[in-house]
Structure 1
Amino acid sequence: MAERITVGSIDYSLYLVTGRDLLPVGKDYLETLEQSLQGGVTVVQIREKNADTAEFLKIALESQTICRRYKVPILINDRIDIALAIHADGVHLGQTDMPVSMARSLLPKGSIIGVSCNTKEHIQTAVEDGADYVGIGAVWGTLTKALTSPIIGVRGVGEMLKSLDGTGVRAVAIGGIKSTNALRTLHGTISTTGHALDGIAVVSDIMNSADPLASARSLSSTIRAFKSYSAQVPSASSVLSPEHTAESIKTSVSSLLGIIKSLKPLVHQITNTVVTNQSANATLALGASPIMATASAEMEDLSRVSGALLVNMGTVTDKEGMLLAGHHANLHRKPIIFDPVGVGATTFRRTVANELLNAWQASVIKGNAGELGALANSEEVKARGVDSVGKGFADPASFVKQLALKERCVIILTGITDYVSDGSTVIKLDNGHELLAHITGSGCMVGTCVAVFCAAAASTVEVRTDKKLVDGDMLSGAIGGVLAVTVASELAAARPDVFGPGTFLPALIDELYNLTPDKVIEQAKVEVIE
């Protein structure tokens, strides 16, 4: 009998849960298992919900022989007797299975015990009971088993991981994870305290694959690249750091403006009906090309050719299009700018925003105090329709920094003073004119301009990697989009032909068109405050 794996030496990165019922017609189970191990699977859990004891025992022994050949630990789902019979490395228990303490008393010393968890309370109990790891899920919808608990969502996992801070208990996410959402899962589940998953558990993406070797290899490559990157760069998505000066930020933004005018990126926008024409004109004025498309059937094709995606929730009549657009943008590593217009106004909008942010990873989220407060479930500010009411956040810099960490993206808080953060750096911007508040859709125009600048930022990356959902300086893109509108608004308001909102709007489009890198450097009021 080969030596059992010790708890401390386990690599949970790519955790395979078996399911023979998922095998393609004519595909052999043991062949699939061996190919998955060759592709990079690091832990195997044998799950046999419908097999009798004799059949389960036979499958477990045959699986163990292969796993031992590759020095990969084998765990048994639920069945302590099977684990004891084959001298397995451990067991995985559900919430209705044998208690951890009793399983520990029956199993050999050093056995691995994992527990399925769907709530913070489950995790806290598992830690108290002495579990070695927890399986958190379901993260996504899954067809491999009937769900008896709510789907947690990617962002919910991050909140739950904080319960493991300082415990030494490891964590894997499970439920609907596959190659198309693995990076989103790894990226989006990191907690605000920096606690990350130790691995992802996969079922159908390998077991149902005609080429399990390639499927496992693809997942393993994504995991390794992400972990390597995360160890080096704990912040969200920027190359800027606190030591950068206001002048260096202005230089970076002005450089992006030059790239926009040179490359003329295509910017896909799903926006509200009130501002569609206005946003398209702003895009053209900066030098980019707009495409305003909402049909679900177009989203995959558009994700290949566009430089960035803007999703504006002003009129939520095309949720399916928003979901698909973001999904495909993530797959093609295109920046997604999310503008949750009026999210605090209704329960429906809050539900849709939550669904969107769990379905795909935003690169930048832009909103006023009321909108971002609603996303963060803050009681500090209130929303009235699409507007904020009250005094705003007492410490806006800390708020945007914490929300950026929570959402794993750049956050823009718009107002009289704008704040931008990637979770590490906080930038304060003091440009703008009061006439912006007197025209419809000025905030939506900011979202459009941010998308244009982020498209330029992403276009500067020569080599794409599997490390991040989006390559490129999204913080500079976010700052650039805000400054484009606010600097142009000051220039427009100062014109002798502007007498009020009616003459200000066309003048604003003119000044976006006439904006130059030198004007940005000269006019921008930028302060690095953290």
Structure 2
Amino acid sequence: MPKPPLDLTLYLVTGRELLPPGKDYYESLDESLQGGVTLVQVREKKADTAEFVEVAVKTIEICKKYNVPVLINDRIDVCLASGAAGVHLGQTDMPISLARRLLPPEAMIGISAGNVDEARAAKDAGADYVGIGALWWTESKQLVKDVLGVRGVGPLLDVLEGSSTKAVAIGGIKTTNILRSLHGAVGPVSLRTLDGVAVISAIVSSPRPKQAAQEIKSLVTAFRRSSPGIITMPLTLRTPESLKEGVVRLMARIRKDTPIIHQITNNVTVNSLANVTLAIRASPIMATTPQEMPDLARLCHALLINFGTITDKAGMLAAGREYNARKKPIVFDPVGIGATSYRKEAAKEILNTWQAAVIKGNPGEIGAMYGSSEVESRGVDSSGQVFSDPVKVVRDLARRERCVVVMTGREDYISDGLSVIRLSNGHSLLGDITGAGCMAGSCVATFCAAARLEVEEEWVGRLGRGDMLLGAAGGVLALSIASELAAARPDVKGSGTFLPALIDEVYNLTPETMMRRAKIEVLE
């Protein structure tokens, strides 16, 4: 007998102890199947064998009406006794090779995997799928390992590439984080995506499991309809002239729409960021209180998170979730990330909670995120060194983080994971004032807001839609070209007179000046 089709799109793991008051398990199961569940795993940690078999048999009877296979958690004997389609094993359960000998040849076998070695072993043993997690903290089951996090899934998916072993994510997945889970959990090399999500409490604990299942499945389906890549323009259309024309187009959009840019930033440069945002013809809002974030995300067009002083992490986490939910771009500026372990852990928590559209940093900050010691961070500044292969660094980091990466410096490198561009504008006086990089972040957020405004039609598949590479390039060019113009002014005598002149020149930028002065190279 051939194996039944393995559709992991919406994988329901049961948990009778999680049912809401008055809700019958079998009633909840039937409604969940009506909502689109594609695979069911019966998990019974406290039932004795007879009760486990009884629950499994009745579950299989209900699932047959919807042609949905049933797996049994851990127990080979219960699988055989009930006639289930297969089993899901933990790392401390029976080896896959032995389970294969005991079960019928058509039986499906899945296994949990929390690291690359476990995923590789599962693939080599011929597992039909691996359950990767835990993705998020969950109260549905007791965790024996640390939470893997969304960004920890990619290397496991790369290991599975080229095999028939499928992958499903599990652990704390719900409607509010599912797009972040799917978008962020992608192999950085293979660009392989998950085959589905496994859900427990988001459906089982719901008084309306049919609606809960429908909503989750619709989000997975929407994600699959979108391109798995992160590039938003065909590579062949990335030319210096097309990029310049696109930047000028975004400039016009900014001046027409005056986008509102929400900024959670460090207390050293907040005034400069507000002024440069106004100069570029956008409108800044500086707000950090978590309770304000739902309203601000509805009102504003983009979010800049600059954690130079990391005093508002709760607001940063709440804001990111709200802007992701509304598909609005987030620019993340991990100021000084390499300086302390706390900054590194804060950045990890932030990027595992929401999806950035753009990550912007100097070489020291990008190096810390990339995991390279080639360029060291010195407080909030870079050491002045450069990478031997900056193209590889920004491209690989963009692939890994599923976003556009901007590395500023004497030359600026920007990548969306496939194409890489180099910008060569700017003046050395930018390095002599406080907050030049932070102001660049404000400009990038403004241009990304304009890129998002270009595609305002309804769209639910990807977070932060719009040409974010173009937005990033526009923001960097606006500040760097303005710096050249400001430094050439006769009234500029040093850093003290340079800063107000810089704001003036951002304000006075024209499309003609941008087209004439922009130095753009498309490297890959």
Query: Are 1:95 and 2:91 counterparts?
Result: yes
For residue 324 of structure 1, give the secondary structure of its aligned residue in structure 2. helix
The residue type equivalent to 2:457 in the other structure is: V
- State the one-letter code of the partner of 2:373: E
Could you tell me which residue of structure 1 aligns to residue 226 of structure 2? 229
Task: Confirm or deny that 1:188 pairs with 2:162.
Answer: no
Of 133, 140, 147 in structure 2, the residue corresponding to residue 144 of structure 1 is: 140
- Cα offset, 1:159, TM superposition: 1.6
Unaligned runs of 5+ in 1: none
Q: How does 1:271-420 map to 2 (within 5 A)?
A: 271-389=265-383, 391-420=385-414
Q: For 1:247 and 1:130, how far apart are their aligned partners in 2?
A: 50
Give 1:284's aligned amino acid: L
* Residue 23 (structure 1) shift: 1.3
Measured against aligned partners, the alpha-carbon deviations of 1:111-141 in whole angstroms (never above 9, x if no partner) come to 1101111121211222232211110110100
Cα pair distance change 1:280/1:304, threshold 3 Å: same
In 1, Cα distance between equivalents of 2:283 and 2:409? 27
Distance 2:391 2:94 in 1: 48
Contact 2:331 2:356 in 1 (8 A): yes
Distance (whole Å) between structure 1 residues aligned to residue 220 and residue 54 of structure 2 = 32
Q: Alpha-carbon deviations, 1:306-356, whole Å to 9, x = none?
A: 111110011011111111111111111111100000000111111111111
Q: TM-score, normalised by structure 1?
A: 0.96
Using the alignment, how far apart are the partners of 1:244 and 1:448 within structure 2?
24
Q: Deviation per CA, 1:409-434: give whole Å up to 9, x if none.
A: 00001001001110111111011011
Structure 1 equivalent of residue 7 of structure 2: 11
Write the distance in 1 (CA, Å) between the matches of 2:386 and 2:486: 27
Tell me the amino acid that sits aligned with residue 51 of structure 2: E
What amino acid sits opposite 1:228 in the alignment?
R
What secondary structure, in the 3-state scheme, does the structure 2 residue paired with 1:355 have? helix
CA distance in 2, matches of 1:51, 1:443: 59
Counterpart of 1:209 in structure 2 is 206
Matched residue SS, 1:44: strand
Identity of aligned residues (%): 56
> CA separation in 1, counterparts of 2:382 and 2:259?
33
1:362-382 residue CA offsets vs partner (Å, 9 max, x unmatched): 000000111010011112211
The residue number in structure 1 matching 2:152 is 156
- Residue 128 of structure 1: aligned partner: 124
Q: How far apart are the structure 2 equivalents of 1:184 and 1:285?
A: 33
Gaps of 5+ in 2: none
What residue number does 1:112 align with?
A: 108
Deviation at 1:464, TM superposition (A): 2.4
Q: State how far apart, in whole Å, the 2-side matches of 1:79 and 1:366 are.
A: 49
Q: Counterpart of 1:115 in 2: which secondary structure?
A: strand
1:497 aligned counterpart, secondary structure: coil
Whether the aligned pair in 2 keeps the contact of 1:78 and 1:93 (CA below 8 Å) is yes
Structure 1 residue 237: Cα displacement = 4.6
1:86 aligns with 2:82: yes
429 and 354 in structure 1: CA distance in 2 versus 1, 3 angstrom threshold: same
Aligned to 2:45: 49
What CA distance in whole angstroms lies between the structure 2 residues aligned with 1:257 and 1:31? 56
Task: Tell me if structure 2 keeps the 8 A contact 1:242–1:425.
Answer: no
Assess if the C-alpha contact under 8 Å between 1:381 and 1:392 holds in 2. yes
What is the Cα deviation at residue 5 of structure 1?
A: 6.9
TM-score after normalising by structure 2:
0.98
Moved more, 436-445 or 155-164: 155-164
Aligned length: 523
Shift in Å at residue 240 of structure 1? Answer: 5.0
Task: Give 1:69's aligned residue.
Answer: 65
Q: Distance in 2 between matches of 1:44 and 1:419?
A: 47
Closer, same or farther: CA 32–142 of 1 in aligned 2, 3 Å: same
Question: Displacement, 1:389?
Answer: 2.1
Match of 1:525 in 2: 519
* Partner AA of 1:29 in structure 2: Y
3-state SS in 2 of match to 1:463: coil
Q: Is the Cα–Cα contact under 8 Å of residues 370 and 393 in structure 2 kept in the other structure? A: no
User: Could you tell me whether the CA contact under 8 Å between 2:327 and 2:460 is conserved in 1?
Assistant: no
Deviation at 1:248, TM superposition (A): 0.9
Q: Per-residue displacement from partner, 1:17-76 (whole Å, max 9, x unpaired)?
A: 011111111122212212212211111111111112222112111111111111111100
Counterpart for residue 426 of structure 1: 420
Aligned to 2:237: 243
One-letter amino acid of the counterpart of residue 221, structure 1: S
Tell whether the 8 Å contact from 1:177 to 1:202 is kept in structure 2 after alignment.
yes
Root-mean-square deviation over aligned CA pairs: 1.3
